[in-house]
Structure 1
Amino acid sequence: MLDINHILVVLDKHDEEQPGLHRACWLANALDADLTLITSAWDSFGDQASQLADTTASSVKQALLRQAQFWLDSLTELDSCKRLRVNTEVHWQKHLHDAAIESARDTEFDLVIKSTQKHGLIDRLFSHTDWNLMRHCPAPVMMVKSSDAWKRNRILASIDATSSDKGHTLINDNILSYAEHLADHFDTDLHIANAYPMVAVALAMVPEVSPPEDIQNYITDQHKEATARWAEKFNVAEDHVHILEGDAEQVVPDVAAEIEADLVVVGTVGREGLSGVLIGNTAEALVDKLSCDVLIIKPKDGVNPDIE
């Protein structure tokens, strides 16, 4: 059975509002989960490669670690945190995502939460913390946009219903398992979104190919049938299933806006290298396009123990 008992909250000292912390405290209180607050501290003068004397470099390092620890301790005194089981960790790491991933590898967290803002190409080229967490963190990652409470009680799960290979089947199952668990716990409506391609547009780019008759109807029916099977497995009402023509990057935000979703659950395969920077992943694009919280699930997150 899926349970969310241990939540890691990744905190950037430069974020004044900390919406991720507020969401984490609310979830931990509702789920009776414990929190671990983590941040990083680093400066070249305190690093081992520093040109300063060892004792001076060590003093710089310890001062920065104490300063970061004091900041984390002040957060635990917030009213929203006082009644919760809260641990804190300060890592000596240049990059915050390295600290978070290191912690997640040492401890089996059920969920990682971080505040997020809109990103551009430069952020991706410079390995932004959010992108690295989404691709490499060994746990589901929730990107939080606002401190506002979930108001509409609606969760939207975005799946690729017709993909039948083992990897996509696993990630669809993980997405819906996690979404179902949250929907059941918070008594919210669970919706499913599935986008399917416009074949006519694709074939129009290859004029020498004559599209078979009714090919679009055939593809549409395939997606409807496949999505219906997933909806039946996870007890999603028929009027909560949204199957639309187009790219997921456009369909999902449109559906989320229409139903006023509080949370969108998506999957990512974490495309690596330059193609990942320039082409991106659907999940990463959705984080920027959606105004609500986004929960990113990877195939190896292991949120569903029933599938190996």
Structure 2
Amino acid sequence: MLDINHILVVLDQSDTEQPGLDRALWLARLLNADITLLTNAWDTYGDHSSQLTGETRDGIRAALTSRAEQWLSSFTESDDRNGLRLATEVHWQKHLHDAAIESMRNNDFDLVIKSTHKHGILDRIFSHTDWNLMRHCPAPVLMVKSAAPWRHSRILASIDATSADRGHQLINDNILSFAEHLADHFSTDLHIANAYPLVALAFSMVPEVTAPDNIQEFVTEQHQEATQQWADKFNVHKDHIHIAEGDTDEVISDIAHRIEADLVVVGTVGREGLSGVLIGNTAEALVDKVHCDVLVIKPLDGVRPDIE
């Protein structure tokens, strides 16, 4: 059984709105979960490498930490939060994602939630908080786009149905396990989506090689059969299976828009280095393309899949 009992909400002090907090409060009430609100405090003059005297340095650090604690406390004092189990944490870290990961080392959080917004290439190059959380956080990460409630009762699980790679199979199982659990708990419809490549495009890039007859039909049937197997395992209704050709991020965002999904559940293997910056993971691309929340799952996130 997959349970969400402990939620970590990562709050950026530079954000003027906090839709991630609104979503966390809503989930906590429905799931009877506790919430920890986290932010960071840091300044070069208060850091251990500062050239200032120890007393001055410690004073700066204490003042900045206290200011951050007061900021977090402002979110816990509202009357509509009575009855919720709320805690706060301020970590002395230069980067917010490092503060979150530091907290994860000492606490058993089932879900991490953060507000997000559209990103550009420079955000990726300069190690944006959102990208690092999606890649490195040792728990599922819910990226919240809007404080608007989930009102269409549809969850879309995006998988790579035909991959024989064990890592992708683990991700598929985790994606669908989380999506099924949320769909059952909230009595929503679970949809499953799979994108497959346009083979003709691949062969057009190597004109000296002739594509076999009916190769596209073969690829399509292969993905249909594989997706159906995953759908059968998680009792996804036939009418809720979506298969289309094209780039995964484009296909999934189009399907999410068409069915008015409240949440897209997607996996990531956390591609590193320059390829991760320029190519990007599907999960990261989807966060920018869809208008709903995105739940990012990694191979070892929280469930015990039936993959050997």
- If the TM-score is normalised by the length of the shorter chain, which range does it land in? over 0.9
Conserved 8 A contact 1:26-1:80: no
Q: Confirm or deny: 8 A CA contact 1:263 1:293 kept in the other structure.
A: yes
Judging changes above 3 Å, is the alpha-carbon distance between structure 1 residues 144 and 211 closer, same or farther for their aligned structure 2 residues? same
**Shift, 1:64, TM fit:** 0.7
Deviation per CA, 1:278-300, whole angstroms, max 9, x where unpaired? 11111101111111000000012
Pairing 1:86-165 to 2, within 5 Å after superposition: 86-165=86-165
- The alpha-carbon deviation at position 78 of structure 1 amounts to 2.4
- Report the residue type matching 2:105 in the other structure: R
How far apart are residue 156 of structure 1 and its match?
Answer: 0.3
2 CA distance for matches of 1:152 and 1:45?
49
**1:165 positional shift:** 2.0
Structure 1 unmatched ranges of 5 or more: none
The number of equivalent residue pairs is 308
Aligned AA (2:32): D
Map of 2:264 onto structure 1? 264
> Does structure 1 retain, via aligned residues, the 8 Å contact 2:268–2:283?
yes
Q: Distance in 2 between matches of 1:3 and 1:295?
A: 15
Q: What is the SS of the residue equivalent to 1:76? A: coil
Matched residues in 2 for 1:189 and 1:144: separation?
20
Structure 2 residue 287 is the aligned partner of structure 1 residue 302: no
- 1:56-71 maps to which residues of 2 (within 5 A)? 56-71=56-71
Aligned partners of 1:136, 1:5: CA distance in 2, in Å? Answer: 21
Contact 1:6 / 1:109 at 8 angstroms: preserved in 2? yes
Provide the rounded CA distance (Å) in 2 between the counterparts of 1:110 and 1:226: 30
Deviation at 1:52, TM superposition (A): 1.5
Q: 1:248 to 1:80 in 2, by over 3 A?
A: farther
Report the alpha carbon displacement of residue 108 of structure 1 after superposing the two structures with TM. Answer: 1.7
- Give 1:198's aligned residue: 198
Q: How many percent of aligned residue pairs carry the same amino acid?
A: 70
- Secondary structure at 2:75's aligned position in 1? helix
Distance 1:126 1:80 in 2: 38
Alpha-carbon distance in structure 1 between the residues aligned to 2:36 and 2:288: 26
Determine if contact 2:174/2:305 at 8 Å carries over to the other structure. no
Q: For 1:88 and 1:129, how far apart are their aligned partners in 2?
A: 19
| 1:37-58 C-alpha deviation (Å, 9 max, x unpaired) | 1000011111111122110110
- Secondary structure at the counterpart of residue 213 of structure 1: coil
Instruction: Indicate if the aligned counterparts of 1:22 and 1:80 stay in contact, CA closer than 8 A.
Output: no
Is 1:31 matched with 2:36?
A: no
1:160, 1:194 within 8 Å by CA — same for their partners in 2? yes
Higher deviation after alignment, 94-103 or 74-83: 74-83
SS of 2:173's equivalent?
A: helix
Q: How far did residue 305 of structure 1 move?
A: 5.7
Cα distance in 1 between the residues matched to 2:261 and 2:301: 23
**Residue number in structure 2 paired with 1:275:** 275
TM-score for both structures, normalised by structure 2: 0.98
**Counterparts of residues 161-172 of structure 1 (less than 5 Å):** 161-172=161-172
Q: What letter corresponds to residue 175 of structure 1 in structure 2? A: I
Which residue identity lines up with residue 68 of structure 2 in the other structure? A
The residue aligned with 1:252 is 252
CA distance in 1: counterparts of 2:252 and 2:79, whole angstroms: 35
Shift of 1:60: 0.7
Q: Is the 8 A contact 1:2 1:304 kept in 2?
A: no
Q: CA RMSD of the aligned region, Å?
A: 1.1
